[in-house]
């Protein structure tokens, strides 16, 4: 092994005309110059992203109004990101990049987007749960969206129905109105 190193050191002056010390100095300067010049043309390093904490597990909300749902539009990072389809509320926090602020579908967050999804619309007037007047094709498209959401996201609640809530008093609260005490009529014998 020593013979090879000695042969190389003897060959440097014979081929280059430089002493071994001068040769290795020139070689080191050439490598340093190459590294500096190549760094000018190298692509910039990718930006460092601060890792986000994973969203907390979905919390069941039960029945909420559309006004209450609007608070879950992604603007407050401490709240989950929610949206509804056909009155069913889904936690879409794991897709914050799509439905959160700055995402391509951010206008759906915090709303019942049924009509907009059925019509494939980004118009603000279509951001509601009104299904009246939709064609069979649009209703089928909405069913496809509902299937996708139910298979990908966790259902966390429902939108409280304001009118025709099923209690018969027409006030939209889901609670029957109290009945005033009435005295039964006497039936004549």
Per the CB < 8 A criterion, the answer to whether 30 and 16 are in contact is no
36: burial class by Cβ within 10 Å (0-12, 13-18, 19+)? exposed
pLDDT on residue 22 = 92
DSSP conformation class of 185: P
The tens digit of pLDDT for each residue in 142-174 reads 999 999 999 999 999 999 876 654 444 445 444
pLDDT band, very low/low/confident/very high, at 106 (cuts 50, 70, 90): very high
DSSP conformation class of 102: T
Phi, psi for residue 158 in degrees, rounded to 5? -135, 155
Per the CB < 8 A criterion, the answer to whether 128 and 108 are in contact is no
Look at 87-96, 103-112, 164-173 and tell me which has the smallest mean pLDDT: 164-173
* 126/115 Cα distance (integer angstroms): 6
* 137/149 Cα distance (integer angstroms): 19
H or E element: which one contains 91? strand 88-91
Per the CB < 8 A criterion, the answer to whether 109 and 82 are in contact is yes
Q: Which residue has the higher pLDDT, 46 or 29?
A: 29
The region that residue 164 occupies, defined by phi over 0 for left and psi between -120 and 50 for alpha, beta otherwise, is left
């Amino acid at each position: 092994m020593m013979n090879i190193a000695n042969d190389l050191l003897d060959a440097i002056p014979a081929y280059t005309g430089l002493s071994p010390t001068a040769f290795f100095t020139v070689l080191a300067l050439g490598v340093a110059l190459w590294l500096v010049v190549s760094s000018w043309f190298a692509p910039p390093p990718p930006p460092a992203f601060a890792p986000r904490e994973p969203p907390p597990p979905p919390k069941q909300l039960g029945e909420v109004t559309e006004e209450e749902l609007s608070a879950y539009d992604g603007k407050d990072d401490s709240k989950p990101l929610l949206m509804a389809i056909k009155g069913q509320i889904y936690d879409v926090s794991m897709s914050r990049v799509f439905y959160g602020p700055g995402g391509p579908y951010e206008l759906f967050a915090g709303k019942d987007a049924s009509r907009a999804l059925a019509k494939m619309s980004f118009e603000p007037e279509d951001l509601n749960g009104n299904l009246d007047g939709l064609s069979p094709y649009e209703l089928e498209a909405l069913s496809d969206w509902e299937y996708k959401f139910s298979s990908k996201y966790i259902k966390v609640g429902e939108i409280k129905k304001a009118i025709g809530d099923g209690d018969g008093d027409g006030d939209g609260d889901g609670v029957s109105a109290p009945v005033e005490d009435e005295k039964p009529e006497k039936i004549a014998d």
